[in-house]
Amino acid sequence: MIPWLEIAGLLVLLLIAWFWFDSFQSRAAGLAAAQAICRAEDLLLLDETVALAQLRLIRDDDGRLRLRRSYDFEFSDTGDNRRVGRVTLIGTTLLTVHLPERQSATCVDGRPPTCHRHVVE
């Protein structure tokens, strides 16, 4: 029989592996959303990357606990400046995209931020 300490250690390792894999998928979806919004708005995505800015536990529409991640990215509208935008996701589901000094946040498909649950593929 396997001792309880080894079972607990294995469960912790599995939890860490799940978190790493889930974070990797979420980051890829965040990058895809940042690239799409920069293409749609004729902006230049700088460094071609996103950086985790916030990680929170929230409840989704079904009442389940989920991880909400916000990623910052840098973009330029003139090529001479750097501005910071933010994408917010639950898993790989895009919630919002925020571009500063814009009239409102815009989702990837161009609709206003009421387009919650837009899936980024």
Q: Residues 14-60: pLDDT tens digits?
A: 999 999 999 999 999 999 999 999 999 899 999 999 999 999 999 98
Judge whether residue 109 has pLDDT over 90. Answer: no
Mean pLDDT calculated for residue range 62-91 = 92
Q: What is the pLDDT of residue 25?
A: 95
Q: What is the pLDDT of residue 119?
A: 36
Judge whether residue 78 has pLDDT over 90. Answer: no
- Cα separation, 98 vs 86, in Å, equals 5
H/E stretch holding 6: helix 4-40
3-class SS of residue 112: coil
Based on the number of CB atoms within 10 Å of its own CB, is 93 exposed (0-12), middle (13-18) or buried (19 or more)? middle
Q: What is the pLDDT of residue 100?
A: 83
